[in-house]
Amino acid sequence: MTEDQLRIAAQTSKAWPFEEARKLVKRYPQGKTDASGQVVPVLFETGYGPSGLPHIGTFQEVLRTTLVRRAYETLTGGAPTRLVAFSDDMDGLRKVPDNVPNQGLLSAYIGHPLSRIPDPFNRYESFAHHNNAMLREFLDRFGFEYEFVSAADRYNAGAFDDALKNVLRNYDAIMGVMLPTLREERRKTYSPVLPVSPTTGQVLQVPIEVVDAEAGLVRFEDLGETVESCIFGGHAKLQWKVDWAMRWVALGVDYEMSGKDLTDSVTQSGKIAQVLGGRRPEGLIYELFLDEKGEKISKSKGNGLTIDQWLTYGSEESLGFYLFREPKSAKQLHIGIIPRAVDEYWQFRDKLAEQPVEQKLGTPVWHLLRANGAAAAAGDETLPVTYGLLLNLVGVLGAGATRDQVWSYLGNYVENADPAAHPALDTLVTCALAYNRDFIAPTLLRRKPEANEAAALAALDEELAATADGASAEELQNLVYEIGKDPHYGFDQLRDWFTALYETLLGSSQGPRMGSFIALYGVENTRRLIAEALEG
C-alpha cells in the first residue's frame, strides 16, 4: 500500500482524525507557508498545567492530537508538522496538591509562579521543573514526537515581550471581550495582565492601568501602595484566556483540542486572538471522563484512574485504543473497562493486515500504529489467548499464582509457549496476575451445584475422561454444548448450563468459552475442578 493510495482513501475516510485533519487541509492544502512564501511546519499544540503530575487526561490530549497530526500528514502527502507540548508554568500556585511531600513548604508559596517555588521532592530547581520533567518522561515513555516549551522560559527570556506589547496596545478591546462575560464583582478586579509583585513575588489579581504600551509600563496597587512596573522579562503573566490567545498568535498555533469544560474559554480566547491580529486554531472539543457511577472525575475526589493503574492491569495499546474511540462522547474510566479494551484492541489488530485500505483507515489500530512511526500493516504479532480467558485461568489458579505457573498452563494451548516468543502475551500475564490479585480473587465464590447441575457436571466428567489427548477447543466446546442441550438435565436455555459452569467451577457469574478454557487449563485439571464442585 503506497502513500498515494493512503492519501486517496483518507480523503473520504470517516475516521475522526481524518475529519479533524480535513479542517486543516482547508487552511493549508499543500502545507503552511510564511510571509516570504517559505514552507513552514503546521503547528499542533497541547497544554499542560504543572501544578500536579501528568495523568490520563494529559496522555489522551497528546495522543489524540498526534493522531490528527499524522492524519494531516497523510492527507497532504507529507506536509511538515510540529507538535508543541506547552507547560503553563508561570501560573501562580492556587492550592497545595494532596499527593506531594513537604506540604508546609509549598503552603508558604501560594500565589507564586510554579517555576519559582521550591521542589517539594528536592530533586529539581523548582516545583514546575519537577513536574515538567515528569511530563517529558511521561511523553517519552509512550514514544511521542514533540517539542517541550515552558511558559516561564518564554516569559523570562523576553520571547513574549512583543506579544505583551500587543496585549497592552489592545487592552481596551480585550476588556471589551472579557468584561461582558464576568460577574459584576469580578469585573471590578479583572485585568488581562497579572503583574508579579516586586515585593512578595506573587502573581497579583489586581486591576492595572497601561502607562506605556511600547515600554511595557503598567500601574497597579501592591500592598496598599501604587506601583509602576515594566511587565517584560517575566515580571507579569497574562490571565488564562488572554494568555491562551496570546500563545496561539505568538507561536502560530494551527490546531489545539480541549475538553468540554473549556468551551467558553475557546470562544473568548478565539475573539481575543482576532483582536491581537491572529485567529483561533482549528480544534476538537472532547467530552470528559466519568467514573463507574457516571459522575465526573475529580482529582480531589480521587475517583479517577491513573496511567500507572491502567498499565498495572492492561497494556499501553489498550489504553490508546480506549481513548481513540468516540472522543465527543463521555467515557467511563475505571478498572472494570480494562479487560474488554485489551481484547477489543487485539480483535481489531488481528484483522488489520487483511483489510482493504478503506477499512484500515477506519480502525483505531491503524491510527495507533501510525501515530509514533510503527508499521501500519500489523500482523507481526498476534495474541493467542484472549485477556478474558487469561483472567479465567489465573482466577482458577488463585491469588498466589505465578508467571511461570501461568506459562506452564499456556503450554497446553499456545504453540511455542515461550515468553520471549510472545512478548505481548507475557505482558498481559503479568497484568492478569495483578488484576486477579486485586479485583477477582477477593470476589470469587464457587457455589454448590443444584441436583440437575451436578448430574450434568458428572456427565461432563465422564465425557472428558473419554476424550483423546490433544482435543481441540472446538471439539471440547461441542462436547459441552451437547450436555447442555440434553433435555435430561433440565436446562431451559443453554445459557443456564454455562452459568452453572461458571458459578460452580470458576466462582463467577460470567466466563469464557468453556472449550477454550478446558483446552487451556487441561482436561485432567478441569476434571479435578468438577470433582471439587461435586464434593462441595
DSSP string, 292-307: TTSPBP-TTTT-S--H
pLDDT of residue 261: 94
Cell output for 231: 511587565
Is the CB of residue 127 less than 8 Å from the CB of residue 135? no
Residue of 140, 113, 22, 114 whose CA lies nearest to 71: 22
Return the C-alpha cell found at 267. 470562544
Low-confidence ranges of the chain (pLDDT < 50): 300, 375-379
d(CA 9, CA 339): 32
429/412 Cα distance (integer angstroms): 15
Angle at the Cα of 245 from the Cα atoms of 208 and 290, rounded to 5 degrees:
110
Pairing relation of β-strands 193-195 and 236-238? antiparallel
> Are the CB atoms for 341 and 311 separated by under 8 Å?
no
Taking the C-alpha atoms of residue 319 and residue 311, their distance in angstroms, rounded to an integer, is: 8
Instruction: Provide DSSP, 519-533.
Output: HHH-HHHHHHHHHHH
CA-based nearest residue to 59, from 333, 341, 428: 333
Tally of CA atoms within 13 A in the half-sphere of 382 that contains its CB: 11
Q: For the purposes of burial, counting CB atoms within 10 Å of the CB of 512, is it exposed (0-12), middle (13-18) or buried (19 or more)? A: buried
Q: Helix, strand or coil for residue 152? A: helix
Q: Residue 499 has which C-alpha cell? A: 452459568
Structurally, at CATH architecture level, domain 451-535 sits in Orthogonal Bundle (1.10)
What CATH number should be reported for the domain whose range is 3-175+238-286?
A: 3.40.50.620
**How many whole angstroms separate alpha carbon 356 and alpha carbon 344?**
20
How far apart CA 145 and CA 82 sit, in angstroms, is 9
As a whole number of angstroms, the distance between CA 73 and CA 255 comes to 13
Q: By the 8 A CB rule, do 476 and 514 touch?
A: yes
How many other CB atoms sit within 10 Å of the CB of residue 134? 18
The residue among 231, 249, 198, 192 whose CA lies nearest residue 43 is 249
Q: Record the cell numbers describing residue 320, joined without a space.
A: 490508546
Cβ proximity of 433 and 400 under 8 Å? no
Q: What are phi and psi of 196, to 5 degrees?
A: -90, 125
Distance from C-alpha of 164 to C-alpha of 370, rounded to nearest angstrom: 39
pLDDT of res. 376 = 41
Instruction: Give every CB contact of residue 423 below 8 A, 6+ residues apart in sequence.
Output: 381
Beta-bridge partners for 148: 85
Q: Residue type for 479, please?
A: L
Q: Alpha-carbon distance 17 to 368, whole Å?
A: 11
Is there a contact between 372 and 144 (Cβ–Cβ < 8 Å)? yes
In this structure, the chain runs to a length of 536
pLDDT of 228 reads 97
Q: What stretch of H or E contains 217?
A: strand 217-222
- Specify whether the CB–CB gap between 381 and 414 falls below 8 A: no
Taking only the tens place, the pLDDT of each residue in 143-195 is: 999 999 999 999 999 999 999 999 999 999 999 999 999 999 999 999 999 99
What pairs with residue 168 in β-bridges? Answer: none
* pLDDT value, residue 377: 39
List the chain domain ranges. Answer: 3-175+238-286, 387-443, 451-535
CA dihedral 66, 68, 74, 77 (to 10 degrees): -90
Q: Distances in Å between the alpha carbon of 183 and those of 174, 204, 294?
A: 16, 19, 31
Alpha carbons 482 and 312: distance in angstroms, whole number: 39
Judging by DSSP bridges, how do beta strands 39-40 and 32-33 pair with one another?
A: antiparallel
Q: How far is CA 281 from CA 38, 62, 70, 480, 510, in A?
A: 20, 16, 17, 59, 48
pTM of this structure? 0.92
Q: Which residue has the cell 475516510?
A: 13
DSSP letters, 148-190, are EEEHHHHHHHTTTHHHHHHHHHTHHHHHHHHGGGS-HHHHTT-
